A and B are shown apart, each in its own frame.
Chain A
Amino acid sequence: MKVIRITVNGDEIELGVHDAESLQDALRERLGLTGTKKGCSRGVCGACTVLINGEPKNSCLILAARCDGDEITTIEGIARDGELHPLQKAFIHSGAVQCGYCTPGMVMSAYALIQRNPDPSDEEIKQALGGNLCRCTGYTKILDAVRNWNQFEGDFERSPHADDLEAYQTVGKSLPRPDAWDKVSGKAVYTGDIVLPGMLHAKLLHSPIAHGKIVKIDTSEAERIPGVRAVITGADTPDVLYGISPARYDEPVLAKGKVYYVGEPVAAVAAIDERTASRAIGAIKVEYQELEPVLDPVHAMDESAPQLFERYAGNINTLVDHHFGDVEDGLAQADFVMERSFTGNFTNQAPMEPHASVADWKPDLLTIYSSSQIPHYLHYTASYIFDLPLGKIKILRPTVGGGFGAKAQPCILDLVAAVLSKQTGKPVKLVFSREEVFLWHRGRHKQTITMKLGMTKDGRMTALESDIVLDGGAYSSFGVITAYYAGSMLLTLYKIPNYKYLGRRVVTNKPACGAFRGHGTPQPRFALECLINMMCETYDLDPVEVRRINGMEPNYRTVNDLDIGSCEFVQCLDKVVEASGFREKRDRLPVGRGIGLSCGGFVSGAGYAIYRGSVQRHTEKSREPFQKKAIFPHANAYVKISEDGTQAVVFIGAAEIGQGSDTVLCQIAAETLGLPIDRVRIKSDDTDTSPIDLGAYSSRITLMAGNAVKMAGEDVLQKLFPVVAELLDCRADELSAAGGVIFAESDPIKRLDWAEAARMYFNDQSSLIGRGWYKPPEGLGGDYKGAVVGTSPAYSFGALVCEVSVDMQTGKVRLEKFWDFHDCGTPINPMSVHGQVEGAIVMSSGEAIMEGMIFDETGRLVNPNLHEYLLMTIRDAPEIFSGIVDSYEPEGPFGAKEIGEGATVPVIGAVASAIADAIGVWITDLPITPDKILAAIKNDGSPNPTGTKP
């Protein structure tokens, strides 16, 4: 131990620290300054950036013991006397905050920059922020915020955004997030920041081999280490398998008898602190009998390949064999047929906040704090695994630092922390390291795709055939659904009359793959969009016209029985082509410069829940037959009015994970109630107080939870209006509410203050509470096996153009500019829509050109860190134009539908097509790295770098 004297945010502090303790840990654990975040602890993500004597530094790479005499400023020290710094306000009002996990580090780096240079150029901003990774925003609005920070000094005027809608009071306005203030000032509490009295810290032991039998586990030495409170192995966990889709529960809480991937959790320790737990993990001895690993998904289907699970014959975990129309006939009608193969990549969601869990098991109540996208499914799974009624479990969802699907299944952390808490009688915290985020994975499947498309001379698509092998990794996770989505969603953009899809999801000895933004569809969509562009190139067809001719129209039933409602696909296409100058640029840019067009879209919420039957304890219901309707409402909300009538609080379980659902739901509530936005807040983090919403997956919250909130708001007014009507001597159905006033439309003199009305209601009838819910329409989808996957009350559409330049000598790609137009129905919050688009573009173009998990020949992940798994930095991010087309979805609240996932879907195809346009060769194997580009150029016979395109 050393005693250091430091000044932290102006306060002189004397602090005892361990010799080798990082400043990051000292700030967080000893001083409770948890605004300093922990994203990688290796100096790459920048979330822990603090100022030391005025200079930004990564606190994870600093020993606290060396800081004696230093002056340290953390995110908590930027605001003065409760007044935010203009830079912080700029972040809030520019939409530069989403999940907020990178925000403290980002603000600190930017703050240091404007101290040394109050008017930085874009290049200087990017230099200064290159070490701060953001996974949500695409950096566009962060750049805006830093560029314009001094416009937020003093009492600034919020100017309306260009695309704010006039038709509504609150909906359609680019309002700031309700949680942004907490996030820019370091006050937002994420699961990893939670400290409970008497809390223990836990760690996991992972399998070092990809496939093998566990012969023996000796935990005796670990148990003897002072401070260790519990050591558990598979034998100490319940004897049930779990997962996402009940039909494929196949994963143990901790490995039982066998391990199936490098990194599989084998044992866990709870101890008085993290370091003791780590030491104990190192003292557990496991003897393995290694078995031959299965790593190649195609060979895995060979008869000679080892069988990983008895239930998956030929190692095929999910087989989808769909045929709609008659593909042979369709191909016969085609004038042109092209078949090409494409290979995807394993990509990890890499949310900036690593997963975390705190469990507290008391005799009558199991409480789990979890960084989860799906509190309800976690609730359901915990009930199943621990055989407890749902009523005896409470799930709390603190601030979540991004998910993108990584946190869309119950996490091992939640389950292991619960077991350890039960054993020790204490709350237990378990947090993933960045390496563990990669090992747990549940990210994008690598898909090996062969597609055949037929077209007539005039560009009409006659048939599509798709054969996809999905490398699933060791367990099912979300993968069954992924395999179906990979097929079904190809038909929502183009009216293709004949379609055949063979999808095989194969188990291998790698971390399990799951749902990642765009769930199963980005890689097949990349393949199809590239194939269309290839055919246009080969047969001299216009890629815009081909898309227009086949383009989806409103109220259309696809050949695989998906019911498309509102659809402004062609409008998106036309606008993006015009804005980007695609027609003028295509084939006319010099070598090394290229432009690509691609389209996409997604569901606005899955039409069916993941499990069948009622919400109840698993042991209390038998396996139920499928019914073609929602059994229970997928989203449920209350709106409670405070007793003084001044505030509405929305209660709903919809998981805010950074995407902005709290903002959107508050806006919908405010619009419905006729209250200004500052009189609405939301509580969405507690299953005890907030009714079920299925969670943040399948882009469902705006439409489904939005409808539930709208209905709850209307229910409030229905209760309130009769009271007002009596007072104003009019009929209740004559009344409206807006701007905090209730009035009779016919007679402006008849009006009453909203709060006054609500107070009167409370005086006479007790609490004013409205209830609302949303059930997807009955009968969605066809009657074939798997018909439910891809069904939705509404679909989004988008078209994207991307321009790149390629260094023809090194193969390096520079993403120059993107233009995106999206049909998301009515944008509830345009700024938030653009934020989703910008984030999706940067994330997915990273998948296109630099991201990829690499496994060695033993199945070990070679790059489980942010040094070698490359996320784009602000310096790599392109300029983005995001546009929203006029559209109205009758099934959505105020006409709204999704944006978050659909925006990712067209990206890879656009980037790949632009690169092909730039270099004259198609690369169909993701990621399209400089290495592959240079090899492709060379193999193609080196086009003359100064000449024109062939």
Chain B
Amino acid sequence: MIDLEVRLEEPTSLPDVIALLVEHEGSAKVIAGGTDILVDMKNGDLRPKLLISLARVEGLDAIEVIDDALWIGALVTPNQLVADERLQAWLPALVDAAQCMASYPVRNLATIGGNLCSASPSADLAPSLLVAGAEIVIYKQEGEMRNPLSDFFVDVRRTMLGSAELLTHVVIPKPPPRTGIAYCPFKLREANALAVASSAARLTLEDTGAVSDARVVLGAVAPTPLLAARSSELLVGKKPSSELFAQAAAQASVESKPINDVRGSETHRKALVEVLTRRALEEALHRAQTGGAA
């Protein structure tokens, strides 16, 4: 039950959105798909006075290729991501992540921008975007700026976005040749579930087959999506092997900082990180070798 004092504005341009945010600083919330924010409001955890809808702002709901990068508008839904052939080729891990979110009807409502801005530690889209080196475009009164997504998450449900700033696009660079990215979440049921732990892995291989670039990002095991830095470093310069992946996976588990909650214990999550990281690395290698992400 949402209090009917709440007002809704549906501005049609980014400057208008920002103007409203400035005018109602502290009492306004931006609403994209609404799948998180309306639940929070119904639960009484969030009580904004004004909702600023992005739905009527032009240009935020498309996926475009600009300068060898994929620009994904903040309002693009998971089902749009799943259906996009370019994305299927460039970053199938993000397609997998989008497809495992919530449920089909929710995937028609939720948005990539909302999934990132909600900054839930278990959010599905962030880990594979982070390993892919994605950037975000932030719009504010002074203009647009591009930031690495890796700077974006500050704490549980907190991002670097200022009160009068808006995430408008996610930019995914074209992956270098022989790059594979994979996302492995663990969920307690097969649909309509949040990740208990997840791992996204990226491997870029040299001609020789050795790893030239590697990144492992973990979900749901820290206040924010977590770059397992030492695990990633451990992979670089080495030939992929089960032993190497086992080492990197064990290291990722060490680096994870999970909590006990209703979905799982710290111990289980630590164990999951190891398994999921190993599986993600294996799939990433397979994709790198078969050109899955070229």
Chain A contacts to B: CB under 8 angstroms: 2, 18-22, 41-44, 46, 49, 52, 55-58, 60-63, 65-66, 109, 126-133, 274-275, 278-279, 433, 809-812, 850, 854, 862-863, 867-868, 870, 872-876, 929-931, 934-935, 938
Top 6 nearest A-B pairs (CB, nearest first) are A131-B103, A130-B191, A875-B190, A19-B8, A20-B6, A931-B268
| The one of B8, B41, B102, B275 that contacts A65, using a Cβ cutoff of 8 Å | B8
Is B105 within 8 A of A63, CB to CB? no
Query: Do A66 and B53 form a contact, CB below 8 Å, given A870-B193, A873-B192, A874-B191?
Result: yes
The count of residues in chain B whose C-beta lies closer than 8 Å to any C-beta of chain A is: 47
Is B268 within 8 A of A934, CB to CB? yes
Query: Do A873 and B1 form a contact, CB below 8 Å, given A62-B109, A66-B8, A935-B268?
Result: no
Is A131 within 8 A of B268, CB to CB? no
- In Å, the complex CA distance between A567 and B194 comes to 46
Q: Does B157 contact A (CB under 8 A)?
A: no
Chain A residue nearest to B10 (CB atoms) is A66
Q: Which residues from B are CB-within-8-Å of A65?
A: 8, 10
| The one of A43, A61, A130, A867 that contacts B190, using a Cβ cutoff of 8 Å | A130
Chain A residue nearest to B34 (CB atoms) is A61
Q: Does B222 contact A (CB under 8 A)?
A: no
Smallest Cβ distance from A411 to chain B, in angstroms? 20
Query: Which positions 36-53 of chain B face chain A at CB distance < 8 Å?
Result: 38-39, 41-43, 51, 53
Smallest Cβ distance from A61 to chain B, in angstroms? 5
- In Å, the complex CA distance between A549 and B51 comes to 69
Is A19 within 8 A of B7, CB to CB? yes
Smallest Cβ distance from A87 to chain B, in angstroms? 16
Q: Does B267 contact A (CB under 8 A)?
A: yes
Is A63 within 8 A of B4, CB to CB? no
26 A-B residue pairs with Cβ-Cβ distance under 8 Å, sorted by A, are: A19-B6, A19-B51, A20-B7, A20-B51, A21-B2, A22-B2, A55-B79, A57-B109, A58-B35, A63-B53, A66-B53, A109-B104, A127-B104, A127-B191, A129-B104, A130-B192, A131-B104, A433-B1, A810-B276, A854-B262, A863-B262, A868-B263, A870-B193, A873-B191, A876-B190, A930-B186
Is A275 within 8 A of B1, CB to CB? yes
Smallest Cβ distance from A25 to chain B, in angstroms? 9
Q: Given A43-B109, A61-B106, 5 other A-B contacts at CB below 8 A? A: A19-B4, A130-B104, A278-B1, A810-B275, A873-B189
Query: Which positions 128-177 of chain B face chain A at CB distance < 8 Å?
Result: none
Q: Which residues from B are CB-within-8-Å of A811?
A: 268
- In Å, the complex CA distance between A25 and B149 comes to 37
Chain B residue nearest to A45 (CB atoms) is B192
**A-contact 0/1 string along B255-281, CB 8 Å cutoff:** 000000011110110011001100000
Smallest Cβ distance from B42 to chain A, in angstroms? 6
- In Å, the complex CA distance between A42 and B108 comes to 15
Is A131 within 8 A of B106, CB to CB? yes
Interface SS of chain A: loop
**A-contact 0/1 string along B64-79, CB 8 Å cutoff:** 0000000000000001
Is B192 within 8 A of A810, CB to CB? no
| The one of B38, B41, B104, B272 that contacts A56, using a Cβ cutoff of 8 Å | B104
Is B55 within 8 A of A66, CB to CB? yes
| The one of A63, A109, A275 that contacts B38, using a Cβ cutoff of 8 Å | A63
Is B102 within 8 A of A43, CB to CB? yes
Is B272 within 8 A of A810, CB to CB? yes
Q: Which residues from A are CB-within-8-Å of B188?
A: 850, 870, 929-930
Q: Which residues from A are CB-within-8-Å of B189?
A: 850, 870, 872-873, 875-876
Q: Which residues from A are CB-within-8-Å of B276?
A: 810
- In Å, the complex CA distance between A395 and B242 comes to 68
Q: Does B85 contact A (CB under 8 A)?
A: no
Q: Which residues from A are CB-within-8-Å of B262?
A: 854, 862-863, 868
Is A58 within 8 A of B8, CB to CB? no
- In Å, the complex CA distance between A61 and B4 comes to 15
Q: Does B84 contact A (CB under 8 A)?
A: no
Is A58 within 8 A of B109, CB to CB? yes
Is A63 within 8 A of B108, CB to CB? no
Q: Which residues from A are CB-within-8-Å of B43?
A: 42
Q: Does B3 contact A (CB under 8 A)?
A: yes
Query: Which positions 199-232 of chain B face chain A at CB distance < 8 Å?
Result: none
Query: Do A275 and B3 form a contact, CB below 8 Å, given A63-B8, A130-B191, A850-B189?
Result: yes
Query: Do A2 and B8 form a contact, CB below 8 Å, given A61-B39, A131-B191?
Result: yes
Chain A residue nearest to B184 (CB atoms) is A810
Q: Which residues from A are CB-within-8-Å of B105?
A: 43, 46, 49, 56-58, 109, 131
Smallest Cβ distance from A583 to chain B, in angstroms? 31
Chain B residue nearest to A69 (CB atoms) is B56
Query: Do A20 and B268 form a contact, CB below 8 Å, given A56-B105, A58-B105?
Result: no
- In Å, the complex CA distance between A868 and B193 comes to 8
- In Å, the complex CA distance between A60 and B79 comes to 19
- In Å, the complex CA distance between A929 and B59 comes to 45
Is B51 within 8 A of A63, CB to CB? yes
